[in-house]
Amino acid sequence: MQLNSKDFGKDFIWGVSTSAYQIEGAHTTDHKGLSIWDEFSTKKNAIANNHHGNVACNFYEHYSNDLKLMHSLGIKNFRFSISWSRILPYGRGLVNLKGIDFYNKLINECLKYDITPWVTLYHWDLPLELEKQGGWINRDIVGWFTDYVSLCVTKFGDRVKNWMVLNEPLVFTGAGYFLGIHAPGRKGLANFLAATHHVTLCQAEGARVIKNIYPNANVGTTFSCSHIEPYRLTNKDIEAARRIDVLVNRLFIEPALGLGYPFKKIPLINRIEKYMKAGDEKLLAFDFDFIGIQNYTREIVKHSFFTPFIKASLVKAEKRNVPLTAMNWEIYPEGIYHLLKMYNEYTGIKKIIITENGAAFHDELVDGKVNDSYRINFYNNYLQQVLKAKKEGVKVEGYFSWSFTDNFEWAEGYRPRFGLVYIDFETQQRVLKESAHWFKQFLEVSNKIAEMQE
């Protein structure tokens, strides 16, 4: 079945997502301070092919043309993040007016092209100077973060109405503070639990800051999530899958909803109490206007006696004879339907927006074109599942593609390409992929309806 955007209703929000470190480049330009990713990418073998984000897509210089290109495709909502160290080079204190000026110009250019800005306040690039003081494992970060949020909202909130506090807290705490495979490269359960608690505090406190300054702002936060299934229908595998589901899909949302940490569902989380102070449980809760869910795959889980803490392990997709992306993630459209249904069951969630969904493939530029029919199939199949959930009453009201352009894909470097727009990273040439033309056509119906109503 071929879809078009009118199937989702005239008020459904369509957009594309990016993040600062992955596209901006200009890593020391105009007094920008270093982030943990600037430092982490200098470590040997930390990033595939020793890539780094120093230049990336050079969005810092190309933003106007990129927005013009976005406008030409009929894309009316743009999710981007602010680089904390671009506006506060040391993480706090001294304000970099050049950084403020860049985001003012970016926001104004969005509005010039009738593109609504959706701003993520933290997308993984913590200022390096704050990491030297403990970063997310230092409780002082709650104050550092809320000061940063206050600065952003004060400077940009007159034009930005839509805010996301954090991007995927489980990923940047788990990969960066437990496994050590992302910046800043810390390892261990103690680091993870401390970071988890302080991040969850910041998730709510940051939202309160926004609402205190602009009560009518539309405030949300985003969560990575994966549909989880047991490998076998045995009690041990079913219980292992349940534990992984709690860790992956519920650890950060339930405190925000006033349900507290899921201590009873995963006993090891009890150790987080070591980092809690009196009154913290109430501070973790915030009544968000929406939550963003970000889904790329599903995970199959089996019991594993030798896996510490969680007693569960993932059965890798490449061993299961299933269709894969360039990230070796399973393509499983039904997963996004199950997740939408799952989150919709929480009574405290007012609205769900899919703030990231997409796929990386090994795209090639041939005779000036990128024929990525596999990505078109991916979007069409996933959107069918989103529509199915919506028709069944799920409160899903928006969808953002990841990503507008190819970019720096963290530890994977530049090899996986997620974009609707192909980037030649040597020349910075932009080429619309076939999926970009498909997305334009997909959006045309609802855009024409909106124009008629204006």
Catalytic residues: 168, 356
Q: What is the amino acid identity at position 403? A: S
* Max CA pair span of the chain: 64
Helices (H) and strands (E) in the chain, counts: 15, 13
Q: Which residues of 283-320 are buried (b: 16+ CB within 10 A; e: fewer)?
A: bbbbebbbbbbbbbbbbbbbbeeeeeeeebbbbebeee
**Residue from 148, 161, 143, 96 nearest 122 by CA:** 148
Q: What is the DSSP string of 200-261?
A: HHHHHHHHHHHHHH-TT-EEEEEEE--EEEESSSSHHHHHHHHHHHIIIIITTHHHHTTS--
**Distance of alpha carbon 410 from alpha carbon 21, whole angstroms:** 9
Contact 255, 284 (CB under 8 A): yes
**Distance of alpha carbon 449 from alpha carbon 452, whole angstroms:** 5
Residue 283 token pair: 């501070």
Query: Which alpha helices (DSSP H) does 92-133 contain, by range?
Result: 97-112, 128-131
Residue 259 token pair: 């349900």
**Distance of alpha carbon 138 from alpha carbon 453, whole angstroms:** 51
DSSP state at residue 69 = H
Residue 356 token pair: 């990231």
